[in-house]
Amino acid sequence: MDRMNELAQRDFAHIWHPCCQMKDYETLPSIVIDHGEGAYLYDVNGNSYLDIISSWWCNLLGHCNPKINAAVKAQLDKLEHVIFVNFSHETAIDLADKLVNILPKGLNKLNFADNGSAAVEIALKLAFQYQHQTGHSEKTRFMCLSEGYHGETIGALSVGSMDLFAQIYKPMMMNNIHVEAPDCYRCPFNKNRECCECECFKYAEEAFANYAKETVAIIVEPIVQGCAGMRIYPPLYLKKLRQLCNEYGVLLIADEIATGFGRTGKMFACDHADITPDIMCISKALTGGYMPMSIVCTTDKIYDAFYADYNEGKQFMHSHTYAGNPLGCSTALAVLKILEEDKILEKCQPKAEYFNNLLNEAFGNHKNIGEIRHINLINALELVTDKQTKTGFDGKLRIGYEIYKKALPHGLLLRPLGNVIYFNPPLNIEEKDLEKAVRLAKIAMDEVLG
Ligand SMILES: *Cc1c(COP(=O)(O)O)cnc(C)c1O
Query: Is residue 151 lining ligand 1, measured as CB closer than 6 Å?
Result: yes
Residue-level pLDDT at 248: 98
3-state secondary structure of 171: helix
> Could you tell which of 284, 291, 424 is best to mutate to test the pocket of ligand 1, judged by most ligand atoms within 8 Å of the CB?
284
Count up the domains in the chain and report the number: 2
Residues 184 and 268 occupy one common structural domain:
yes
> In angstroms, what is the span from residue 2 Cα to ligand 1's centroid?
36
Q: Which of 319, 341, 363 is the last residue of a domain?
A: 341
Residues 235 and 96 occupy one common structural domain:
yes
- Position 304, amino acid: D
Query: Is residue 160 lining ligand 1, measured as CB closer than 6 Å?
Result: no
From 191, 262, 189, select the one nearest 223 (Cα to Cα): 262
Decide if 9 is inside a domain. Answer: no
> In angstroms, what is the span from residue 450 Cα to ligand 1's centroid?
34
Residues 329 and 399 occupy one common structural domain:
no
Residue-level pLDDT at 83: 98
Decide if 24 is inside a domain. Answer: no
What sign does the dihedral 367-368-370-371 (CA atoms) show?
negative
> In angstroms, what is the span from residue 150 Cα to ligand 1's centroid?
5
Residue-level pLDDT at 373: 97
Q: Which of 299, 320, 341 is the last residue of a domain?
A: 341
Ligand 1 atom at minimum distance from 294 CA: 7
Residue-level pLDDT at 1: 64
Element (H, E) at 345: helix 344-363
We report the CATH number of the domain holding residue 263 as 3.40.640.10
We report the CATH number of the domain holding residue 423 as 3.90.1150.10
Task: Give yes or no for a contact between 260 and 269, defined as CB atoms under 8 angstroms apart.
Answer: yes
Distance (Å, rounded) from C-alpha 298 to C-alpha 251? 11
Query: What are φ and ψ of residue 396, in 5° steps?
Result: -65, -25
Decide if 14 is inside a domain. Answer: no
Decide if 288 is inside a domain. Answer: yes
Query: Is residue 287 lining ligand 1, measured as CB closer than 6 Å?
Result: no
Ligand 1 atom at minimum distance from 117 CA: 9
Nearest CA, atom 7, ligand 1:
116
Decide if 15 is inside a domain. Answer: no
Q: Write b or e for each residue in 272-300: b if 16 or more Cβ atoms lie within 10 A of its Cβ, otherwise e.
A: bbebbbbbbbbbbbbbbbbbbbbbbbbbe
Query: Is residue 283 lining ligand 1, measured as CB closer than 6 Å?
Result: yes
Kindly report each contact of residues 80-85 with a partner whose C-beta sits within 8 Å and lies 24 or more positions away, as own/partner: 80/326, 80/327, 81/322, 81/325, 81/326, 81/327, 82/324, 82/326, 84/112, 84/319, 84/323, 84/324, 85/319
Decide if 299 is inside a domain. Answer: yes
> In angstroms, what is the span from residue 332 Cα to ligand 1's centroid?
17
Residues 244 and 312 occupy one common structural domain:
yes
Distance (Å, rounded) from C-alpha 144 to C-alpha 127? 14
Ligand 1 atom at minimum distance from 258 CA: 15
Residues 284 and 394 occupy one common structural domain:
no
Residue-level pLDDT at 164: 80
> In angstroms, what is the span from residue 112 Cα to ligand 1's centroid?
15
Q: Which of 341, 361, 390 is the last residue of a domain?
A: 341
Residues 173 and 270 occupy one common structural domain:
yes
Residues 350 and 330 occupy one common structural domain:
no
Distance (Å, rounded) from C-alpha 244 to C-alpha 182? 16
- Position 85, amino acid: V
Residues 332 and 395 occupy one common structural domain:
no
> In angstroms, what is the span from residue 79 Cα to ligand 1's centroid?
27
Residues 270 and 335 occupy one common structural domain:
yes
Query: Is residue 221 lining ligand 1, measured as CB closer than 6 Å?
Result: yes
> In angstroms, what is the span from residue 424 Cα to ligand 1's centroid?
15
Residue-level pLDDT at 106: 98
Burial class (CB in 10 A: 0-12, 13-18, 19+), 309: exposed
Query: Which residues, at least 6 apart from 82, have a Cβ–Cβ distance to it below 8 Å?
Result: 88, 89, 324, 326
Residues 147 and 264 occupy one common structural domain:
yes
Query: Is residue 293 lining ligand 1, measured as CB closer than 6 Å?
Result: no
Range of the domain at 170: 70-341
pLDDT, one tens digit for every residue, the chain (450 residues): 699 999 999 999 999 999 999 999 999 999 999 999 999 999 999 999 999 999 999 999 999 999 999 999 999 999 999 999 999 999 999 999 999 999 999 999 999 999 999 999 999 999 999 999 999 999 999 999 999 999 999 999 999 987 788 889 999 999 999 999 999 999 999 999 988 999 999 999 999 999 999 999 999 999 999 999 999 999 999 999 999 999 999 999 999 999 999 999 999 999 999 999 999 999 999 999 999 999 999 999 999 999 999 999 999 999 999 999 999 999 999 999 999 999 999 999 999 999 999 999 999 999 999 999 999 999 999 999 999 999 999 988 899 999 999 999 999 999 999 999 999 999 999 999 999 999 999 999 999 998
3-state secondary structure of 4: helix
Task: Give yes or no for a contact between 330 and 74, defined as CB atoms under 8 angstroms apart.
Answer: yes
Query: Is residue 150 lining ligand 1, measured as CB closer than 6 Å?
Result: yes
Residue-level pLDDT at 203: 98
Decide if 11 is inside a domain. Answer: no
Looking at the DSSP bridge assignments, the partners of residue 269 are: none
Decide if 201 is inside a domain. Answer: yes
What sign does the dihedral 197-199-203-207 (CA atoms) show?
positive
3-state secondary structure of 186: coil
Residue-level pLDDT at 309: 98
Ligand 1 atom at minimum distance from 153 CA: 9
Residue-level pLDDT at 125: 98
CB atoms within 10 A of CB 360: 15
Residues 45 and 123 occupy one common structural domain:
no
Query: Is residue 259 lining ligand 1, measured as CB closer than 6 Å?
Result: no
Query: Is residue 260 lining ligand 1, measured as CB closer than 6 Å?
Result: no
> In angstroms, what is the span from residue 6 Cα to ligand 1's centroid?
32
Residue-level pLDDT at 165: 83
Residues 59 and 198 occupy one common structural domain:
no
Helices within 217-318 (DSSP H only) = 235-248, 300-304
Ligand 1 atom at minimum distance from 120 CA: 10
Distance (Å, rounded) from C-alpha 69 to C-alpha 38? 12
Ligand 1 atom at minimum distance from 152 CA: 9
